[in-house]
Structure 1
Amino acid sequence: MGQEYEPKVTFLVVQKRHHTRFFPRSEDADGRYKNVPPGTVVDREITHPTEVDFYLVSHSGIQGVSRPTKYHLLWNDDNMTENEIEKIAYYLCHMFSRCTRSVSHPAPTYYAHLAAKRARVYLEGENIKLSNLQSQQHICAVLKEIVSDHPMFFV
């Protein structure tokens, strides 16, 4: 890629735990309110008036009420529109390799969670000083035995 390569970066905060739920406006044939359909996006009325944030229900509920995931845009180098960001977030919810269905939040957030859980195992019993991470890198390195004996490392 070379020294002059500068990729465009977009940062989103993905919030899973909140108390917001969505319900359809009308009853179904049985006279009950079911879940909103997968792919439902709410980006007006209950969101921030000037910043880009939205709720996305990317999966169909198996039991109970589907929980939407809240997204908040922090940085957008690529100048993507809000609709493009919503579409990419929805598509990424179909990319998680451990599930054959759409999941509630994008696959990269699942993988980040799994990687942090794996790192916690390697660092068990170690004291890390967050004030000086530069000098603490040797503690956080993956052991050479693990890299040489198991080159395929998948979270």
Structure 2
Amino acid sequence: MTEEKDQLLTSYNSMTEERDQLQTRVRLSEEPCLAEWWKFGTSCYYVSSKMNTPGAGQKECRTMEGELVVINSREEQIFINGLKKNVWIGTFLKDGIWQWVDNTPFTTAYWMEGEPNNLNDKVACVEISQTATDPLKSWKDGPCVEQHWVCEKPITP
């Protein structure tokens, strides 16, 4: 009888431990982003509270295992615009060519009317401007001065 009781107790403890591990996995899949990060789609986004140049922002993003945000869709553009801050995104002008920080092809843009207008500069950066009335026309280029920025990192299972 004692042996049966010990086996049942061992089995119970094992199942309790397995249940706790499964609950942790479920919780992590429901809350995949750290505090102060926002989930959208398959990525987490961090909006800086301090201002910095895009280059310094990119370095800080990398310390958090991310990159300055690369806008891949209309929905992502609307989401980032909805953060309600003027923020640097991960595109820049280098030698007259617009590039993303992750080297993906620059095929989509959401420029404000009259933008970009710094094409003669050797280097220019892009911000999402809250002065825009249309979230799909809110990019503005300019000198790479201090500004808030957004990091993006993919959600990993």
TM-score category of the 2 structures, normalised to the smaller one = under 0.3
Would you tell me which structure has more strand in proportion to its own residues? 2
Q: Relative contact order, CA 8 A, sep 6+: which one is greater? A: 2
Q: Considering only CA atoms, is the larger Rg found in Structure 1 or Structure 2?
A: 2
Q: TM-score, normalised by structure 2?
A: 0.20
Q: TM-score, normalised by structure 1?
A: 0.21
